Amino acid sequence: MATPILQGQDPSSTPTLSSGAIQQLVRDNRLHSSMFTSQKIFDLEIERIFHRTWLFVGHTSEVPNEGDFRLRMMGRQPVILVHGKGGEVNVFLNRCRHRGAAIAEREAGNAKFFKCWWHGWIYDTQGTLVDIPRADGYEPGFKSRIGGLARPRVESYRGFVFASLDPNVPELLEHLGRTTAWIDYMMDASPLGGITLTAGVEKTFYRGNWKLTGMDGYHTDTVHASVLEVWRKNSNDGLGVTHRGDVTSDRLSRARAFDRGHTLLDYLEHKTDHLDGYLNFLRSLPGGADYIDATYARYGEEYGKNVLALAGDPHVAIYPNLQLIGNQLKIIVPLAPDRTQIVMLPVMLQGVPDSINEARLRVHESFHGPASAGTPDDHEVFERAQRGLQGSVESWIDISRGLHRQQIDSDGTISGHLSDEVAQRGQAREWLRLMTRE
């Protein structure tokens, strides 16, 4: 029998979005679909989430040399990540202090100075305004009064540079909470504790909302059915694949929700259970046995086993715009209610044999690349979701899966079956917290 259509007013359709109206969008483990489609809600997300909490901007290893820069977005604000003179990595608003033009245009490069394209004001890599053409038009001392480019608040953890447009945001470590242990797992997959992010970048767009992206342990059997079939047939085809066994293992893997909307698909126990097979695969690579020895030598056997088992894939999402999944960093860039850019950077490990980084790159390409079998299917299904969500009658979607069997673990995180919507509920809680702050 068909389900009766649930009629009712769209809580986001009120002229002003009061906190009370926003509260109405997340109810009884259901979400109102206007959270994904409304321009008004999207605008408020930019203002209250992307312009007020910590955002991942980039990793120091993307800009290894003095003058290296990358352009990124913080909500609607373009910013420049740049390796400055003293070795520090700076983040500046990409906005000239004269009449506001973006001063840097190339997405990545190396520069000693940034010269504004409009009237030629020049800034150095410290953001200082160093020259104004035809300066006689200004009173003495004008240049030093302007100073330089505006800076967001910036803090970093293990080279992960975060910035916030709100100077009063809590300290980064408080924001990251328990996720630092999972960032460590990615970094410590290198026996030198370092990564390299110069293998390239993949940028894709999908016609769907930014909140549709990922941390969903429920979709794998359907969206990725064809990939799973290949993996099951061929258990020996690459790093990060061979030791997975049954990737959707119900037995040992967990979905977890930390504070502040951060979430984890925790494969650690599952992968340590398959560690022997993976170590055999590593030993088959040139230099693989040395990598295993170097890992144990640096980290000891207990932690070293976890590091090897995870193979640099913590599968953690740091709310709202960073995911460390597979062999990559993934940055989520919201552009419109129904348009999102995904920036993916393959992670290469420092201090490992080339054979391992090559295998990591091949696995990245095969699941996440433009001609791959994974991410394009995810994006296709997000677009289908967005099409369905446009409707304004049956407006509620359900995220209650596994509510009856979730638990609070000894470390205070909420955890559940891998396929349960623990992450979706955790993200919705943080969304509501941030969106209802005046």
Minimum separation from the CB atom of position 437 to ligand FES (A): 33
Cite the DSSP H helix spans in 72-120. Answer: none
What residue type is assigned to position 62 of the chain? E
Nearer to Fe ion, 323 or 395 (CB): 323
Which residues, other chains included, contact 201 with Cβ-Cβ below 8 Å and sequence gap of 6+? 108, 343, 344, 345
What residue type is assigned to position 351 of the chain? G
Nearer to ligand FES, 149 or 212 (CB): 149
The pair of structure tokens assigned to 38 is 């409304």
Check binding of 378 to Fe ion (CB under 5 A). yes
Query: Out of 42, 50, 69, 121, which residue is the one contacting ligand FES (CB under 6 A)?
Result: 121
Minimum separation from the CB atom of position 377 to Fe ion (A): 7
Q: Contact letters (x/-) for ligand FES, 79-98, by CB under 6 A?
A: -----------------x-x
116: partner contacted, choices ligand FES, Fe ion, none (Cβ within 5-8 A by kind): ligand FES
46, 69 contact by CB (below 8 A)? no
Nearer to ligand FES, 99 or 251 (CB): 99
134, 118 contact by CB (below 8 A)? no
Task: From 8-16, 118-126, 183-191, 206-214, give the range in contact with ligand FES by CB under 6 A.
Answer: 118-126
Query: Out of 27, 76, 85, 99, which residue is the one contacting ligand FES (CB under 6 A)?
Result: 99
Under rule CB under 5 A, how many of the chain's residues touch Fe ion?
Answer: 1
Minimum separation from the CB atom of position 148 to ligand FES (A): 13
300: partner contacted, choices Fe ion, ligand FES, none (Cβ within 5-8 A by kind): none
Nearer to ligand FES, 129 or 169 (CB): 129
Minimum separation from the CB atom of position 136 to ligand FES (A): 16
Unique residue bearing structure tokens 């504790």: 193
Q: Give the H/E segment covering residue 35.
A: helix 34-37
Nearest residue to Fe ion, scored by beta-carbon proximity: 378
The pair of structure tokens assigned to 430 is 């943080």
Minimum separation from the CB atom of position 381 to Fe ion (A): 8
* DSSP per-residue codes, 153-168: EEEEETTEEEEES-TT
The pair of structure tokens assigned to 158 is 């293990």
131, 121 contact by CB (below 8 A)? yes
Minimum separation from the CB atom of position 80 to ligand FES (A): 14
CA gap 188, 199 in Å, rounded: 19
The backbone region for 69, taken as left when phi is positive above 0, alpha when psi lies in -120 to 50, beta otherwise, is beta
378: partner contacted, choices ligand FES, Fe ion, none (Cβ within 5-8 A by kind): Fe ion
98: partner contacted, choices ligand FES, Fe ion, none (Cβ within 5-8 A by kind): ligand FES
Q: Spell out where 26-74 has E strands.
A: 26-27, 30-32, 55-59, 68-74
Residues that bind ligand FES (CB under 6 A): 96, 98-99, 101, 116, 118-121
